[in-house]
Amino acid sequence: MTRENLAHFWRLYRRNYSAVAGLAILAAIIALAATAHFFFPDDPFKLAGRPMSPPATGGFLLGSDSLGRDVAAGIAHGAKTSLLIGLVATLVAVGFGALMGGLAGYYGGWIDDLLMRTTEMFQTIPSFVFAILLVAIMKPSIESIVIAIAVVSWPAVARLVRGEFLSLRNREFVQACHTLGMSDLRIMLGEILPNCLSPIIVTGSLMVATAILIESGLSFLGLGDPNIMSWGFLIGAGRTVLRSAWWVCTFPGLAILITVLAINLVGEGFNDALNPRLRERR
Amino acid sequence: MNHSVKRLRYVLKRLLQALPIVLAIVVVNFFLLHMAEGDAVDVLAGEAGSATPEYMAELRQKFGLDKPLPVQLAIYLKNVLSFDLGYSFRHEMPVSQLVLDRFVPTLLLMVSTILLAVGLGIVLGLIAAVGLNTWRDNLISVFALVTYATPLFWVGLMMIVVFSLNLGWFPTSGMENIAAFHTGWDRVWDIAHHLVLPTITLSLFYLALYTRLMRASMLEQAGMDYVTTARAKGVTERRIVFVHVLRNALLPVVTMAGVQVGALIGGSVIVESVFAWPGLGMLAFEALFARDLNLLLGIFLLSALLVVAVNLVVDIVYSLLDPRIEVS
């Protein structure tokens, strides 16, 4: 993308005020994640003071949990986990989904049939239950969570990319490439793919939000990586003291809500800016 | 061709299309079982405390675990067909029986959730579409946006804090007050009372979805030619919205209600474990803790089959509601 394109994109993007707000919030959360080690240098699992301190007491901004862990530190360190897993899982899912959808759409015929039946099957399977099962079988770790989220998210991308490839593969510019003797691979990656990047970016950005929700659900159920702090883990750990320490569950949940909301707003902003035709329909 | 014969053919065709998907799900299930470390015999030996290698080999032979993979797959398929899903060593019960026992509470939760989410979603979407770009529309849009981003388990916990712990309106967990030994209508009332919070929690996400869908569907129908015709005939706006547009706008919402069943099952795992609702989701949560993979796979298989079945039913109902489907 050239500088001019970027400037044009930004002009379109900033017309949607809520999308700009979403971007600002997201930037703040990224900053929080990046500075977690600076403001909370200690291990977030470490006992930091008196257990069950209410917010704004005992040196805890957002209180402490039943083991005296700092909730604010947990949120700051958990931001890294959530953003990282959301982003990596989405990248893997988009990569794999684009490959499947691209092959199916470009070649058609039995390849299309085979790949699309597979996609359908994956879409039929209840995705969250499937993710739980995959993590339970692979043992909880960052890698297994990323794989599980990617496995349940790729079909949507595959369908999208297949549709785009299907509509583009008989266009004149693609036929011209065939005449020039370009290889299939080069046509797919160099010619067709760049033309369907906008819907992929929009879908991908919304998928990051879903991935963060799935990750928080998994770690809430106790399927998070045991060595890494995450928002879902904080809420799951705070559940047992809900009666006496409401803040342990409340603040990490708000963090998830705000992050997912911000990403959804950014995704909608991308949609408006990248597909100007669709704007009137909303 | 006769109309009802055509319809029957469509139903048969859809049934045939569902078969390979069911088969594929069973095969996936089988391979997941194999991916897991250790087999049933290892679990048995672990439970018993000690077992000689000879005894374990004998057990493997008995369960057919020493046979080549394709043979094992065939045995597994046969077992699944006769609804034998293996044995849960934690609960000391066949998985199929456990799963069936817990199926009813989940069904109760899901049906009440769908009714609430679809019903209220249709009303909210209608209000939003009728008052397009008014404060009502904006408020509903913001509500949908926020609930769309809220983790279900957190909503559930916050509901417990506010409505159970602080206000004391609803019980915190469970399906009924077992110690009270309610019978008849008292028991129904007790269960309904316990059902309120889980249902509201689980329906919030889908409520947002159906609200958005209903609004979009209403707006799409409002631009159709038949609306212009009706208006030209002098039909009142009220009648156009509530009789003409509403009826046509409902169809896609009803279809979506079926499509979302898979996601609903995932949501019920979370909601049931928050509210200790004794259904399949809670069972899955317990199985997770006990590392009871057989049971987890059984729940997974049943929920996947449920999705296939619901999709099938929705497709067939849809074809009855909308005669155009059969033509294509």
Other CB atoms within 10 Å distance of the CB of residue B84 = 13
Q: What is the pLDDT of residue B135?
A: 86
- Give the C-alpha separation, B87 to B96, whole Å: 8
- Nearest residue on chain B to A128, alpha-carbon basis: B266
Give the best residue of A114, A117, A128 to mutate against chain B (max B CB count within 10 A).
Answer: A128
Q: What is the mean pLDDT of chain A?
A: 84
Give the best residue of A133, A153, A207, A242 to mutate against chain B (max B CB count within 10 A).
Answer: A133
Q: Which of B151, B161, B289 is opposite residue A246, by nearest beta carbon?
A: B161
Q: What is the pLDDT of residue A281?
A: 42
What is the distance in angstroms between the Cα of B8 and the nearest Cα belonging to chain A? 24
- Give the C-alpha separation, A240 to A242, whole Å: 6
Q: What is the pLDDT of residue B149?
A: 87
Cα distances (angstroms) measured from residue B272 to each of A74, A223, A230, B87, B285: 26, 16, 22, 23, 9
Helix residue ranges per DSSP H, chain B? 3-35, 40-48, 53-63, 69-81, 95-130, 135-149, 152-159, 184-222, 225-232, 237-239, 246-259, 261-275, 280-289, 293-321, 324-327
- Give the C-alpha separation, A132 to A123, whole Å: 16
- Give the C-alpha separation, B216 to A281, whole Å: 9
Higher confidence at residue B283 or residue B35? B283
Q: What is the mean pLDDT of chain B?
A: 80
- Judged by DSSP in three states, A207 sits in helix
The answer for A2, left when phi > 0, alpha when psi is -120 to 50, beta otherwise, is beta
Q: Which residues on chain A are in Cβ contact (under 8 Å) with B296?
A: 132-133, 136
CB distance from A21 to chain B under 8 Å?
no
Other CB atoms within 10 Å distance of the CB of residue A161 = 27
- Give the C-alpha separation, A272 to B309, whole Å: 37
- Nearest residue on chain B to A268, alpha-carbon basis: B145
Write down the ipTM of this complex. Answer: 0.84
Task: List all residues 6 or more positions away from A111 whose beta carbon is below 8 Å from its beta carbon.
Answer: A103, A104
Q: Which long-range contacts (CB under 8 A, 24 or more apart) does A8-17 make?
A: A9/A273, A9/A274, A12/A272, A12/A273, A12/A276, A13/A269, A13/A270, A13/A272, A13/A273, A15/A272, A15/A273, A16/A268, A16/A269, A16/A272, A16/A273
φ/ψ of residue B94, rounded to 5: -65, 140
What is the distance in angstroms between the Cα of B56 and the nearest Cα belonging to chain A? 22
Residue % of chain B over a pLDDT of 90: 1
- Give the C-alpha separation, A99 to A193, whole Å: 10
Give the best residue of A124, A206, A248, A254 to mutate against chain B (max B CB count within 10 A).
Answer: A124
Q: What is the pLDDT of residue A153?
A: 92
- Nearest residue on chain A to B143, alpha-carbon basis: A261
Q: In which band, very low, low, confident or very high, does the pLDDT at B48 lie, cut at 50, 70 and 90?
A: low
A124 half-sphere exposure, CB direction, 13 A CA radius: 29
What tokens does B130 get?
């009728």
Q: What is the pLDDT of residue B38?
A: 60
How many beta-carbon pairs under 8 angstroms link A with B?
Answer: 131
Q: What is the pLDDT of residue A279?
A: 46
Q: Which residues on chain A are in Cβ contact (under 8 Å) with B297?
A: 133
Say yes or no to pLDDT of A186 above 60. yes
If you ran DSSP here, which 8-state letter would residue B6 be given? H
Express each pLDDT in A109-163 by its tens digit: 888 888 888 888 888 888 888 898 888 888 888 999 999 999 999 998 998 999 8
- Nearest residue on chain A to B148, alpha-carbon basis: A261
Scanning A204-233 for CB atoms below 8 A from B yields 209, 213, 216-217, 220-223, 232
A125–B304 C-beta distance less than 8 A: yes
Please indicate, yes or no, whether the overall pTM of this predicted structure exceeds 0.90. Answer: no
- Nearest residue on chain A to B269, alpha-carbon basis: A129
- Give the C-alpha separation, B110 to B119, whole Å: 14
